[in-house]
Chain A
Amino acid sequence: MSKKILMTGNEAIAAGAIQAGCRFYAGYPITPQNELIAYMAKYMPQANGIFIQAESELAAINMVFGAAAAGARAMTSSSSPGMSLKQEGISYIAGAELPAVIVNMMRGGPGLGNIAPSQSDYFQATRCGHGDYHAIVLAPSTVHEAYYGMREAFDLADKYRNPVIVLGDGMLGQMMEPLEVAQAAAESSKYKKPWALSGCLGRAPNVVKSFYLHEGKLEEFNLLLQKKYKRIKEKEQRAEVILADDAEIVLVAYGSMARIAKAAVKTLRAQGIKAGLIRPISLWPFPETIFRKLSAGRKKRSLLVVEMSYGQMIEDVRLSVGDRFPVEFLGRGGGGVPSEKEIIAKVKHVTGKKLHR
């Protein structure tokens, strides 16, 4: 039996993480993700887990490094400027092949920006920090998905020994939706961690590191990472596809933005315009296979990428579809959110059709 409760996206992510077996959280306050750290402070100890309010974003991500190295399901969360500070640590986590989950509830930028929702950290999340590494990036779009997506995030992290970034925004973080919470605990124990630091009792010492000084060794290690990334690309692409088969115009949007795009698709269909939606759920690996399949359906169509940024995901869409379809763009930054009305007006412009109001 499950019960339904009303929760913000931030709280749902925290609750979902604890439910997924996360037993270590370190974070630093930053708006708009403060409900998350507060939830962790209250409920992590009740789950016999560890909560630490770190002295900085740097300390928080490096605490996650340590907890992951010791074998715990560990996570931290932040928002855009704080995420920039975590980049070095995420690179170390990737380099040491540690499983960890990092949540970014994006806000407007650059710099201190503002605290309004934004999607302007797409490049940062999918292109990552220094060194040739990748984090798996998941973008939930509802409170329900934020909650249940945490289990998937931790499973992927453990499965591939890789950092997983959950990329949300201030809108998802602070909006409340009813949520049916899971009753059964996640089976986090199915991922064995023989590499973890626990003291060398009965085995040879373990070393957690990302340092390869001897000539050729770092390249060898990078080739292993590249093999792993190839496996992830083959197996872990995720997207939601709505009415795309016969669509003359396919909207592409992720996270909170996809909900508005979905409403626009509904309105457009009601007005006789064949609109569809592709909502990438994994931003890295980008669900390029789904875009490739578009050719199998209707030959003539346009894509309209809608983002709360000035065009970041659109690069991946273009790389995925090549020159088979024209790719148009609608985006706003600095906390601006493209409205359903703006999307419909853009569709009208792109398709050259007159629409009812």
Chain B
Amino acid sequence: MKKIYSHPQSLRTVSTHYCPGCGHGIAHRLIAEVIDDLDIRERVIAVAPVGCAVVAYDYWDFDCSEAAHGRALAVATAIKRVRPQNIVFTYQGDGDLAAIGANETIHAANRGENLTVIFINNAIYGMTGGQMAPTTLLQQKTATTPLGRDASLQGYPLKISEMLALLNGVKYVERVSIHTPQEVIKTKKAIKQAFQNQIDGIGFSLVEIISPCPTYWEMPPVQALDWIKDCMLKEFPLGRIK
């Protein structure tokens, strides 16, 4: 009989600390599955910066490094340069990648570092309690935009993936979502592509994953999935950007 399902070797058999309905668990698992599929577990080095996924190293079963808030791509740049044979990826939230770490993101991308970036966009700061992220939608209420995000005061949702796609050093950018099983399958495909690109020496590859945060969106998990479809995807359309 052919075995068609098993727990990924790259994912430890522990329960996570994530809230019910959070997207991180799905994203972690997809990465673990891709790493198993590509048979690179023993070559992978992950960089998990500050954010909800700061303890991702407790869930993945391969080498991992912490990074200060926003500095994942500086840390990853150095690891990859020192160990070009290893497969190095960062797993960053929207605050980390697009706010405090925007400079590191832009310059690592512009240097064309041969890295894989998994960018979790849930339009909010989860770890610190639901404050505005650079990707927070207009009118979206957060702890720091209690009246809703107002463009005249807080600017617009930052489309950093589109910005990065303009850079010559960037080879692959795709925005995916995990709000339906069908989109989850597409997400895995994009993650695989981003890792394969690094293995093939193609260069800087980024996958932006639209991910639910029911707790700080203050809605039940199922409604959060609908909110992705009805609201987030209007601001952040899915598909290959570069």
Residues of A at the B interface (CB closer than 8 Å) are: 23-24, 26, 50, 52, 54-56, 58-60, 62-67, 69-72, 74, 88-89, 92, 96, 197-202, 205-211, 213
CB-defined contacts of B87 to chain A, threshold 8 Å: 199
Task: Report the nearest B residue to A23, measured CB to CB.
Answer: B82
Number of A-B contacts (CB under 8 A): 134
CB-defined contacts of B64 to chain A, threshold 8 Å: 197, 205-209
User: What is the bound-complex CA distance between A59 and B81, given in angstroms?
Assistant: 14
CB-defined contacts of B57 to chain A, threshold 8 Å: 205, 207, 209
Contact B71 A62 (CB under 8 A): yes
Task: List 10 tightest A-B contacts by C-beta distance, closest first.
Answer: A66-B78, A66-B75, A62-B74, A62-B71, A55-B107, A201-B42, A209-B66, A67-B78, A70-B82, A63-B78
Contact A200 B62 (CB under 8 A): yes
Query: Which of B54, B62, B104 makes the CB contact (< 8 A) with A211?
Result: B54
Most buried by B among A59, A64, A210: A59
Q: Other than the known A60-B74, A67-B82, what 9 A-B pairs have Cβ atoms closer than 8 Å?
A: A24-B82, A50-B78, A65-B74, A66-B47, A70-B78, A92-B66, A197-B63, A198-B63, A210-B66
User: What is the bound-complex CA distance between A205 and B61, given in angstroms?
Assistant: 6
User: What is the bound-complex CA distance between A65 and B55, given in angstroms?
Assistant: 18
Contact A58 B63 (CB under 8 A): no
Q: Mark B86-112, 1 if CB is under 8 A from A, else 0.
A: 110000000000000001101100000
Most buried by A among B54, B63, B77: B63
Given A70-B83, A211-B54, do A205 and B62 touch, yes or no (CB 8 Å)? Answer: yes
Given A70-B82, A199-B45, A199-B62, do A59 and B104 touch, yes or no (CB 8 Å)? Answer: yes
Contact B104 A71 (CB under 8 A): no
Most buried by B among A55, A88, A92: A55
Task: Report the nearest A residue to B50, measured CB to CB.
Answer: A211
Contact B79 A69 (CB under 8 A): yes
Residue B65 at the chain A interface, CB threshold 8 Å: yes
User: What is the bound-complex CA distance between A206 and B57, given in angstroms?
Assistant: 9
User: What is the bound-complex CA distance between A202 and B41, given in angstroms?
Assistant: 11
Query: Which of A62, A207, A210, A213 makes the CB contact (< 8 A) with B104?
Result: A62
User: What is the bound-complex CA distance between A210 and B54, given in angstroms?
Assistant: 11
CB-defined contacts of B41 to chain A, threshold 8 Å: 200
User: What is the bound-complex CA distance between A23 and B83, given in angstroms?
Assistant: 12
Contact B103 A59 (CB under 8 A): yes
* Shortest Cβ distance from residue A50 to the other chain B in the assembled complex, whole angstroms: 5
Given A62-B104, A69-B65, A206-B63, do A199 and B42 touch, yes or no (CB 8 Å)? Answer: yes
CB-defined contacts of A70 to chain B, threshold 8 Å: 45, 78-79, 82-83
Residue B159 at the chain A interface, CB threshold 8 Å: no
Given A69-B65, A209-B57, do A62 and B75 touch, yes or no (CB 8 Å)? Answer: yes
* Shortest Cβ distance from residue A117 to the other chain B in the assembled complex, whole angstroms: 30
* Shortest Cβ distance from residue A27 to the other chain B in the assembled complex, whole angstroms: 12
Query: Which of B61, B63, B71 makes the CB contact (< 8 A) with A89?
Result: B71
Contact B63 A66 (CB under 8 A): no
User: What is the bound-complex CA distance between A197 and B44, given in angstroms?
Assistant: 9
CB-defined contacts of A206 to chain B, threshold 8 Å: 63-64
Contact B71 A211 (CB under 8 A): no
| A–B Cβ pairs within 8 angstroms, 22 of them | A24-B78, A52-B77, A55-B103, A58-B70, A59-B74, A59-B103, A62-B67, A62-B75, A63-B75, A64-B78, A67-B82, A69-B79, A70-B45, A70-B79, A197-B64, A198-B83, A199-B42, A202-B42, A207-B57, A207-B64, A208-B65, A209-B64
Task: Report the nearest B residue to A98, measured CB to CB.
Answer: B65
Contact B86 A199 (CB under 8 A): yes
CB-defined contacts of A197 to chain B, threshold 8 Å: 45, 63-65, 79, 83, 86
Contact B71 A58 (CB under 8 A): yes
Residue B185 at the chain A interface, CB threshold 8 Å: no
Contact B103 A208 (CB under 8 A): no
User: What is the bound-complex CA distance between A205 and B35, given in angstroms?
Assistant: 14
Query: Which of B61, B67, B81, B106 makes the CB contact (< 8 A) with A24?
Result: B81
CB-defined contacts of B71 to chain A, threshold 8 Å: 58-59, 62, 65, 89
Residue B68 at the chain A interface, CB threshold 8 Å: yes
CB-defined contacts of A64 to chain B, threshold 8 Å: 78
Contact B68 A62 (CB under 8 A): yes
Residue B240 at the chain A interface, CB threshold 8 Å: no
Residue B43 at the chain A interface, CB threshold 8 Å: yes
Residue B76 at the chain A interface, CB threshold 8 Å: yes
CB-defined contacts of A60 to chain B, threshold 8 Å: 74
User: What is the bound-complex CA distance between A63 and B46, given in angstroms?
Assistant: 15
* Shortest Cβ distance from residue B214 to the other chain A in the assembled complex, whole angstroms: 22
CB-defined contacts of B76 to chain A, threshold 8 Å: 66
Contact A56 B103 (CB under 8 A): yes
Task: Report the nearest A residue to B42, measured CB to CB.
Answer: A201
